[in-house]
Amino acid sequence: MSSTNGMIRMAMIGCGQIARAHLKALDNVPGICVTWCQDLNQERATTAAGPCNAQATTDYGHVLAAPDVDAVFICLPHHLHEPFGVEAAAAGKHVLVEKPMAMNQTEAQRMVDAADRAGVSLCVGQSTRCMAGMRQAHALLADGVIGDIRHIMYQRVFFVEKLSTEWRRVEGECGGLYLSIFGSHDVDVALWLMSAVTGAAAVPARVWSSLRANSQASGGDSDGVLCLDFDDGRLTTFQFSLCSRQNRHETLVVGAQGTLSVLGNEVRLNGELVEAQMPANVYADAFSEQLRQFVAALRGEGPLPAPGREVLTVVRTLDLARESAELGLPRDF
């Protein structure tokens, strides 16, 4: 990988709300610089490029042909992740793509195959893994503090009054509401935590779900339950509502020898707070940590934070959750 002064040169693809948050997170990450900002809206691209001293364009092909781009960060509507990711890989660029990885498993597999053919890295923005509390929980689980994991219970309830962009209301562009926007994070981090004790990938044997569309913000899935059943007896269950006037976002990990919970910045072991220095803004810090790990991986100094091939399991799980809800039956993985 060619670069200047050891810097990873990145192009931001799509310069909307989430891209702006990632660009701000880059300020805290050494070893990477933004050289291009691309958006179909020239004004958005120019505005994003200004603070980075980057070049702005509406032409994606121009970015992929640019010699001063080592990697692209795709922050586009969900239905564009696969075509833009495949094209970037074919051009020899490393790819970091916002979650969800793709609209379905078929698209996600095409992205993985394209990266493999080109010999480039494909990483998915599963930034919940990079939140300080989740990283601490993963480390504790890996140390065996609660023994073998029996059950992970994940709850996310809050109120969505209005979606921040119109495309998120469009099924063909977003892929739904909870499962595509939030469930992709929740399923991923639960499977990641489940794998902490053994180090082996956690792959469910069966998926069951029941979904409801109760939100005025979108016609997509706003409320429901999801259950992942593993052949070794482990369970992962999710409860969610985007219509709740009371907020709660908690992960409870039940082990053979104890219980670990993550609630915001707090990690508790058997109810007792585990002392740790936590960042003031867990979400901004997670974005920065994700980019730090991505840069280290491209330099050969560590693993990707969420490799595309690993995230195929998440995409498959979401596909089966939709199938299960539609049919009213569990679906084999």
pLDDT digits (tens, 9 = 90+) for 288-309: 999 999 999 999 999 999 999 9
Parts of the chain with a pLDDT under 70 = 1-5
CATH of domain 8-126: 3.40.50.720
What is the pLDDT at residue 2?
Answer: 45
pLDDT for res 172: 78
Instruction: For the chain, give every residue range classified as CATH 3.30.360.10.
Output: 128-280+306-332
For the chain, the three-class secondary structure string (H helix, E strand, C coil) is CCCECCEEEEEEECCCHHHHHHHHHHHHCCCEEEEEEECCCHHHHHHHHHHHCCEEECCHHHHHHCCCCCEEEECCCHHHHHHHHHHHHHCCCEEEEECCCCCCHHHHHHHHHHHHHHCCCEEEECHHHHCHHHHHHHHHHHCCCCCCEEEEEEEEEEECCCCCCHHHHCHHHHCCCHHHHHHHHHHHHHHHHHCCCCCCCCCCCEEEEEEECCCCCCCCCCEEEEEEECCCCCEEEEEEECEEEEEEEEEEEEECCEEEEEECCEEEECCEECCCCCCCCHHHHHHHHHHHHHHHHHCCCCCCCCEHHHHHHHHHHHHHHHHHHHHCCCEEC
Rounded to two decimals, what is the model's pTM?
A: 0.95
| CATH 3.40.50.720 domain position(s) in the chain | 8-126
> What superfamily would CATH give domain 128-280+306-332?
Dihydrodipicolinate Reductase; domain 2 (3.30.360.10)
